[in-house]
Amino acid sequence: MKISHLQLKLLCNITAAGFFLAFIYRWYYNISEPTNMLAIAAAFGLMSYRFSLRFTMNNSLKSLVERRESDLVISRLKISPFSKKSSLTKISIARISLITAADNYLSIIIDGNGNGYDFQLLANKDEIVEHIQSLLSCEELAGIKISNVN
C-alpha cells in the first residue's frame, strides 16, 4: 500500500494537533513540564509542509533548473516555509563537460577536471535528464556527456 502526500500531511497535522491538545491538558492540570509537548506539536506542524502542494510547486524540477541565456541556473531546495529565496548557482553551459543524474540527485562537472556541483532535486533520474536535454540545444548536447546512475 502506498501512502500519498495528502495522507502524510494529514497524519502530521493530526499528530501535531494531538500533541498540542496534550500540551493544553498537561498545562491546565499542571502535570510536569508540558513544553516538550508544544515543541513536538510545532515540529510535526512544520513537517507537514514537506507534504504540501506549496512545497511540491516550489521545488518542482522546472522551477529549480532553468536556462537563462548561456547559463544553466539551478536553485537549491526550498525546505522551509519561511524562506523567501534559495541560493542560485549559475553555470556557464560552455563549461559543462559531464552531467550525471540519479533519483533526486544531479551532478554537473565543469571543464572536464572533476570539479563541479552537486544538487538535490525532487525527481527521478529520467525526468532530470529529459528536462536538462530540453534546456540545451543539439550543439550543446554534443559536447556534454550525460549519464544515469542507478
pLDDT value of residue 30:
85
Q: What is the mean pLDDT of each run of 10 residues along the chain (150 residues)?
A: 88 96 91 87 92 88 92 88 79 94 93 89 92 93 89
113 contacts: CB under 8 Å, gap ≥ 6: none
**Separation of alpha carbons 25 and 44, rounded Å:** 18
pLDDT score at 145: 93
Q: Which residues contact 3 (CB under 8 A, 6 or more apart)?
A: none
The reported pLDDT for the residue numbered 77 is 85
| pLDDT at res. 150 | 74
pTM for the full model?
Answer: 0.77
For 66, the 3-state DSSP assignment is: strand
Q: What pLDDT is stored for residue 3 in this prediction? A: 86
